[in-house]
Amino acid sequence: MRAGVLCLQGAFREHCEVFATLGADVVEVRTPKHLTDLDALVLPGGESSTISHLLVTSGLREPLSQAIRNGLPTLGTCAGLIVLANEVLDGRPDQEPLCAIDLTARRNAYGRQVDSFEAPLDVKDLVGESFPGVFIRAPVIERVGPGVEVLAMHDDRAVLAREGNVWVTTFHPELANDFRIHEYFLQEVAA
């Protein structure tokens, strides 16, 4: 399994470590050539408007968008969700999402850094106890389209969802010291 991690900004190192622990061949994606022959890709948390800008300046925006449209399984966490969304509320005026999943995301909806928290999450089809959701300046999913499957909720809001080959979380599974979300994603990719 060749798992790529977008390594432009944000919590990419942690995703690389989780995938390596799960036995994947990790590819640090920094240029379009790094998208070649990937089985899966993660867009990490970080600062969504910065990631969006760096996708343009690195030349990755169009090749990445095309790879996702062509079926590359992609997991976006926190800021990665915002980058993948159809619509972004409270974003920068020049911030253009990739429109890879039919949902509306609101940036930093839970508040500032000091408002970060952890919450147990019951995830559909995830074996074992609840998953420790780590929410850091997290977005909120305001709307999901009819083709989007919600896999976990917190306070009556979707926090883990998927549509086709695109998965998104509002929380940071790479910071939970629990690899089950990444493992679940990779198992679905390999199926």
Q: Report the catalytic residues.
A: 78, 172, 174
Q: Which long-range contacts (CB under 8 A, 24 or more apart) does 113-116 make?
A: 113/137
Which pair of structure tokens corresponds to residue 14? 């942690």
| CA distances for 132 relative to 41, 95, 118, 128, angstroms | 22, 30, 7, 12
Q: Which residues of 78-98 are buried (b: 16+ CB within 10 A; e: fewer)?
A: bbbbbbbbbebeebeeebebb
Is 5:39 a contact under the CB 8 Å cutoff?
no
